[in-house]
Structure 1
């Protein structure tokens, strides 16, 4: 993955010359953030998340669903048309499905053999660090893990910043040239990458004051902001 292309807002070109883009904030706003997240789940074939959100199945039903391949399962559901629409949002060209493979302008794009690779690319283009699926020693360990995850999602409130909040913070940060009038032109990757850099820099600025006042412990090093970002 060429991170420089992502930083400059350029699309990633696959081996067969299909272009996958990181959507701009303006394009996300046009369809709505909820639909963007829905599209993102579709093109990354996040079967479990989609089924839970749409149908609220029982734990036993989810266990049966998890036995099916993500790609095979989703393309065989009424969600297929939405998957085509979702891919159309993230690629340059016309998308269609021939019963087995997704094509972009008659070029093979996504299949059962390649969907995980495409999913990884789309995750990175959208500033998401993909988490590997856990491996379990036995069926009981798997059952206990998913039950624990369901309990956490039920009782833990999501206090993460919304996309609007992140954009607002970048617009109000001094010296970066980002304003409410131009942030819509940035891609979602650029926004998340800039925000990560701002967070590192802000942490450095706060620690610098502690260090200057002599309150930093001897075993604690002053964090630098000239470092690699995770994205």
Structure 2
């Protein structure tokens, strides 16, 4: 999988493809229509890492795909929740046949396909970093308890922390408003046409540029250069 190619396609608002399956980037408008909580919860489940769900795997299971491990756990309810979360990001419906085969519309989907699809979803939605397992203690509980905790947990997008109890934390609403008011060519009438990666890219680029301008202005007015970390606006966005 070429991560840079997927990023480039997503930045151009183009879909990515895997074995005939189309994965389109979600627009901010679509996220708003479906609900931010729904989006966050579906992303948290679709993007969850194998190591988070099954941290104590024996060597014989380490090379298995997450979906295969979920199937082997026998937890049909969590499997359905996992597939439904992936479905949220696709234009199709999963069907499991009587023989246990999985199809998305007319396309048969294998374990490795689900892994590839979720990796693309993670890239499109800036969720490359896997969920931390700090909040999990599944050693003796296995899939049932893990399912309950995963579904209860709402993954917070790293920069936003939208559900924080701290009123000073910026929400996605705030960040969209900031970009619409400050970014070149982006306004409140077209900002919702952006997909999440496009928006995240423009927000971070705006932040780098504004930080650079503020720091340059501070230096001009006599600020101590040792106290200022000057990062040029022509720099790579840190993920």
Taking structure 2 as the reference length, the TM-score comes to 0.66
Give yes or no for the alignment of 1:6 onto 2:10: yes
Count, aligned residues: 194
CA distance 1:208–1:185, shift in 2 (3 Å): same
Answer whether contact 2:49 2:130 (CA < 8 A) is retained: no
Structure 1, unmatched stretches of 5+, are: 50-61, 135-139, 141-155
1:22 CA displacement: 1.9
Equivalent residue, structure 2, for 1:76: 75
Cα distance in 2, alignment partners of residues 43 and 101 from structure 1: 20
Contact 1:170/1:195, CA 8 A, preserved across alignment = yes
* Counterpart contact for 2:94–2:105, Cα < 8 Å: yes
CA contact (8 A) 1:84 1:96 kept: no
Q: Is the 8 A contact 1:87 1:95 kept in 2?
A: no
2:170 to 133, 156, 161: 161
- Shift in Å, 1:164: 1.1
Aligned match for 1:177, one of 180, 185, 199 = 185
> 1:47 Cα shift?
7.7
> Kindly tell me: are residues 18 and 220 of structure 1, through their superposed partners in 2, closer, same or farther at Cα, counting changes over 3 Å?
same
Q: Give secondary structure in 2 for the equivalent of 1:90.
A: coil
Deviates more, 1:195-204 or 1:39-48: 39-48
- Aligned pairs for 1:36-47 (under 5 A) are 36-45=39-48
**Deviation, structure 1 residue 79:** 3.7
Q: 1:6 Cα deviation (Å)?
A: 1.4
Give the Cα separation in 1 of the matches to 2:231 and 2:189. Answer: 33
In structure 2, relative to structure 1, the CA distance for the partners of 1:132 and 1:33 (3 Å cut) is: closer
Residue 213 (str. 1) matches residue 221 (str. 2): yes
Residue 200 of structure 2 corresponds to which residue in structure 1? Answer: 192
Q: Work out whether residues 19 and 92 of structure 1, in 8 Å CA contact, stay in contact via their aligned partners in 2.
A: yes
- Tell me the CA shift for residue 133 of structure 1: 6.5
In structure 1, the residue corresponding to 2:77 is in which secondary structure?
coil
